[in-house]
Amino acid sequence: MQKFSYHTHTDFSDGSNTLEEMLQQAVVLGWQEIGVSDHLIVHKNITQSISYQNMIARAHSDMYHSDFKTALPFFNKHAEIFRKIAKKFPLKVYLGYEVDFFTYDGWQEEFKEFISRLDYDYLITGNHFFTNLDGTEIVDISQYKKCKDVRGGDSLENYLRRHYQTIVKAVESGLFDFLAHLDYARKIPEHQNFPMIAERLQIVDALQRHNVACEISTKGLRKIGDFFPENNMLAELIKQKVPLVISDDAHQTSELGYAFDAAEKTLNNGGCVMRYHLK
Ligand SMILES: [Zn+2]
Ligand SMILES: [Zn+2]
């Protein structure tokens, strides 16, 4: 069974445990490696988001940044502390980030410049927002009902479609090691009215073409009783030989390795042979 996770959170972003507590639990589980991937979210209009008040009620406001310039020293300071703590534990610890990819003019260039100065080991793209047409206005997906109040906003169907198109762009950017929770938007009950099969298959296609890995997340089991991504997408990923990695998206120590046996079984039964591993 896979004895590591590369998608985990600490109280540096919205996790409940400290880095020390998470690493200690990984040692207890007998893991020899772990990746910690706290959120990295930078959007120029984030504080003006219609969902911002809800976002900061659920996690501390330090998690959200409106410019790369001030974010850089903040994250590099974190890296310094992180690496000191990691050294004290008898396992290999990778410093990663789960990055929301945005599509407004200039974001990608600024992000590239930012990561060229950032101390990190790997990057995941995990996308948690709906955006308007030019990407300048964002709404936290769990607050999707507020979308109707966005100036110049449109239908849920269009928000969903753009969300999946954003993920395709993130994959095509070549900036990320793997994709988190491909169809996280399934947590919205109304998603079933707009299945977005073609859009999701475009993500699978982009992963295959750009040789980017994808996770099977047991967080889906905790949230909606099913993996992210769902079975038909998983079958397609396996068929296209996209490398897969099991993630728990742990936000607390008790979630490390959560249902990895079930995920392992699903991958093996599906005939998955392409597994992802950080080099
Ligand atoms: Zn996420
Ligand atoms: Zn996460």
Ligand 2 centroid–CA 66 distance in Å is 20
Taking the CA atoms of 185, 160, 211 and 273 in sequence, report the sign of the dihedral they define: positive
Helices within the chain (DSSP H only): 19-28, 52-58, 68-86, 107-116, 156-172, 197-210, 219-224, 231-239, 260-269
Ligand 2 centroid–CA 255 distance in Å is 12
Taking the CA atoms of 79, 46, 56 and 145 in sequence, report the sign of the dihedral they define: negative
Q: Which ligand is nearest to the CA of 248?
A: 2
Output the six-digit token pair for 158: 């269009």
Which domains can be identified in the chain, with CATH numbers? 19-269 (3.20.20.140)
- 86 in Cβ contact with 93 (< 8 Å): yes
Ligand 1 centroid–CA 124 distance in Å is 9
Q: Which ligand is nearest to the CA of 9?
A: 2
Ligand 2 centroid–CA 142 distance in Å is 14
Find tokens 């299945």 and name the residue.
195
Each of the 279 residues of the chain gets a pLDDT tens digit; together they read 999 999 999 999 999 999 999 999 999 999 999 999 999 999 999 999 999 999 999 888 889 999 999 999 999 999 999 999 999 999 999 999 999 999 999 999 999 999 999 999 999 999 999 999 999 999 999 999 988 888 778 899 999 999 999 999 999 999 999 999 999 999 999 999 999 999 999 999 999 999 999 999 999 999 999 999 999 999 999 999 999 999 999 999 999 999 999 999 999 999 999 999 998
Output the six-digit token pair for 218: 């047991």
Q: CB within 5 A of ion ligand 1: which residues?
A: 126
Ligand 2 centroid–CA 208 distance in Å is 22
Distance CA 149, CA 153 (A): 7
